Homo-oligomer: A and B are copies of this chain.
Amino acid sequence: MGNIHEECGVFGVYANRPTHVADIVYYGLYALQHRGQESCGITVNDDGIFVSQKGLGLVGEVFTRSSLASFPSGSIAVGHTRYSTTGCASIKNCQPIEVDHQKGKLAIAHNGNLSNASKLRSDLELSGAIFHTSSDTEIIAYLITKERLRTNCIEDAVSHAVELLEGAFSLVIMSARKLICVRDKHGFRPLCYGIMPDGTYTIASESCALDAVGARFVRDVEPGEMIIFSPEGILFRHEHCRSAPAKHCIFEYIYFSRPDSVLDGIAVHGSRVRAGEILAEEHPAKADIVIGVPDSGLDAALGYSRRSGMPYSIGLIKNKYVGRTFIVPDGRMNQVRIKLSAVGEELAGKSVVLIDDSIVRGTTSERIIALLREAGAKEIHMRVTAPPFLFPCYYGTDVNSRDELIALNKTPDEIAKMIGADSLGFFPLSRLHEYVNGLGLCNACFSGEYPTEVKSVTNKNRFERKLSDTVD
């Protein structure tokens, strides 16, 4: 519905013997589907032979019963779901990325965005590198490969390469014999691991994917930490840990992650309930009911209801079949009507507090409010669980173009008027840390305070060159 997209979900499996690892990854990716609906892929390591299937589409579309059955057994596997932030939607940008180098093979799955990608790529090209894709992940692959030539083992190569990367990255890397996961020193993007009853280790972007495969959550990968699963056991390396302050992406809690996930010790559902409570304190309203825009506004609606004492209700229903394949055949139809519908009985004649996670351009909010009015809502007080978006994100989300951000040029009152709300309240920037009980967080998209150096506005297709950029 919204205009902000997460970029990716990563998943890894390390079993101590050959088994149907592809099935486990398939389940894990299903649980991470919300982190990327554009493409997905699985690479299985069958005794050193890498077998991959990748494609554009949802997990349930790319993998069929027969394609899944055609994977060999293996003891290691990685998987990826993707919404592209760097690089356009194309089969060649699908991950895991696989590379062949002098000392072996790698498959890499990446969640995040490098803030120094342009510089790294330029340097590599000057040394003779050629790029097949426009994704950051290929840059990482190159750096690891270069380091691998000088080092004794893949984990040293990864450790050295990681030093060169700035920005957000949660990586799962598979070599012939090892599974490695590593998280940037700020911990922008989540990453955790768990263990299944039979001793198989699983790595995932969110804990919900560990639950999905029946794995017990062990712990989050620490910012800067690298964990190596190999036949020799598990090795934890901390040379990059605590070298920088934690900067967990606050939008993971506000919108991206699933409410049943626990990220860096903070349960997402709970953080949203808390956000609703804070909104009730900061922007009280006198109304008959509190409703949330499904799905991401529901938890905060519960919090607002609890703190304010006004009854929680179900005022909007989401059509669960509307997905990527939904077509808007012509302009005459109002697609918000198909995606959401109002429950007239709960709304007629009522004054309503409406909770949503964010306002980007305002058009969707405007249509939702019109829907509620049509169903008889008397007053509508909109409360938003995020502060206004004002700055682009360079760490792997899709808040890029400043021109479309409604909050740039309008006050909350002006926005309220524009979208037809009787009142409008945004979550206060000053209390964002309460979402996460004081953990270090990145709120650059609201505050403009970037944890790393960022040079200029980039856009999603920055590596797609036009004739004017080239010589030959």
- The residues of A with any CB-CB pair to B shorter than 8 Å are 20, 22-24, 26-27, 30-31, 33-34, 47-49, 58-61, 63-66, 68-69, 91-92, 98-106, 122, 125-132, 134, 141-142, 145-146, 148-149, 153-154, 175-178, 208, 211-214, 258-260, 262, 267, 269-270, 295, 298-299, 302, 306, 311-314, 317, 319-323, 325-327, 329-330, 332-334, 337-338, 341-346, 463-472
Contacts and interface: CB of A to CB of B under 8 A. Distances in A.
Contact of A128 (B145, B298, B332): B145
Contacts of A30: 319, 321-322, 326, 338
B320 A298 contact: no
Nearest to A325: B60
Given A342-B260, A463-B100, A470 B176 contact: yes
A24 B334 CA distance: 11
Given A68-B327, A177-B470, 20 more contacts: A27-B338, A30-B319, A30-B321, A31-B338, A60-B325, A99-B130, A128-B128, A128-B129, A153-B471, A176-B470, A178-B472, A211-B342, A212-B319, A212-B337, A258-B341, A260-B342, A267-B344, A269-B343, A302-B314, A306-B311
Nearest to A267: B345
Nearest to A346: B269
Given A65-B327, A321-B60, A208 B260 contact: no
| Closest 7 A/B residue pairs (Cβ) | A48-B467, A102-B125, A60-B325, A175-B472, A104-B470, A154-B472, A23-B329
A378 to B, nearest CB: 18
A75 to B, nearest CB: 10
B344 A467 contact: no
A317 B260 contact: yes
Contacts of A177: 467, 470, 472
Within the oligomer, what is the number of copies of this chain? 4
From A100, A125, A468, residue with most partner B Cβ within 10 Å = A100
A208 B340 CA distance: 10
B317 A320 contact: no
A104 B325 contact: no
Nearest to A295: B320
A98 B295 CA distance: 40
Contacts of A134: 100
Contacts of A26: 327, 329
A468 B311 CA distance: 61
Nearest to A28: B338
A404 B319 CA distance: 31
Given A176-B471, A312-B312, A466-B48, A345 B149 contact: no
Given A142-B128, A258-B317, A327-B26, A212 B341 contact: yes
Contacts of A178: 472
Given A125-B102, A269-B343, A329 B153 contact: no
